[in-house]
Structure 1
Amino acid sequence: MMYRLIADAAMVVHFAFLAYMAVGGYVAWRWRRTIWVHLAVVAWGLLSLATGVECPLTVVEDWGRRGAGLQGLPPTGFIDHYIEGVIYPEEYANLARLGVAILVLFSYVGYVLRRQ
């Protein structure tokens, strides 16, 4: 039971992390100090995308699922399992990434404009 809770908690945190990556720059419009957290989150996203480094949340969820006797995540990871092919078709992955990049870029432009 505990393994399942750990896996589910890791999944929820992972979704929250991805949502914050997409819109956290807008949060910084209100709470300016959070921009540093968002920059770190975006940097991690870019690093994992560019290098394929495995996210610790994916490791924890996979460990919890296996410990609970469930099938682990596929080798392609969290996004391929829960998002690509579920929320949008796999062939639109690059378009979805571009959409997130545009959201982040606009949030940073707005952040700078609001600071002035």
Structure 2
Amino acid sequence: MMYRLLADAAMVVHFTFLLYLAVGGFVAWRWRRAIWAHLPVVGWGVLSIVTGVECPLTLAEDWARRTAGLEGLPAGGFIDHYIEGVIYPEEYTNLARLGVAVLILFSYVGYVLRRQ
């Protein structure tokens, strides 16, 4: 039971992380110091896309699920299991990534303009 809760907690934290990745720049419009937390989040997002390095949250959830006796995450990990094919069709992955990149860029431009 405890490992199942741990797996669920890792999933919730992962979704929260991805949400902050997408909209954290807008949060910084209101709370300027939030940009310093958002920059490493964006860096990790870019690193994971470019290099394919697996997220520690994915590893933690997969381990907890398997330890709880549940099926682990598929080979593609968190994104393949919860997002691709569920929130958007798999063939639109690059378009979704581009959309998030544009959203981040727009939020950063707005952040700089609001600081002036």
- Percent identical: 81
1:89 corresponds to 2:57? no
CA displacement, residues 26-70 of structure 1 (integer Å, 9 cap, x when unaligned): 000011011011010000000000001010000000011001110
CA apart distance, 1:75 = 1.3
Number of aligned positions between the proteins:
116
Aligned position for 2:70: 70
Aligned position for 1:25: 25
TM-score (norm 1): 0.99
Aligned position for 1:16: 16
Aligned position for 1:112: 112
- After superposition, where does 1:19-58 map in structure 2 within 5 Å? 19-58=19-58
Secondary structure of the residue aligned to 1:71 is coil
Q: Structure 1: 5+ residue runs without aligned partners?
A: none
CA displacement, residues 7-31 of structure 1 (integer Å, 9 cap, x when unaligned): 0000000000000000000000011
Distance, in Å, in 1 between the alignment partners of 2:66 and 2:77 is 14
TM-score (norm 2): 0.99
Q: Which runs of at least 4 in structure 1 moved beyond 4 Å after TM superposition? A: none
Distance, in Å, in 1 between the alignment partners of 2:89 and 2:48 is 21
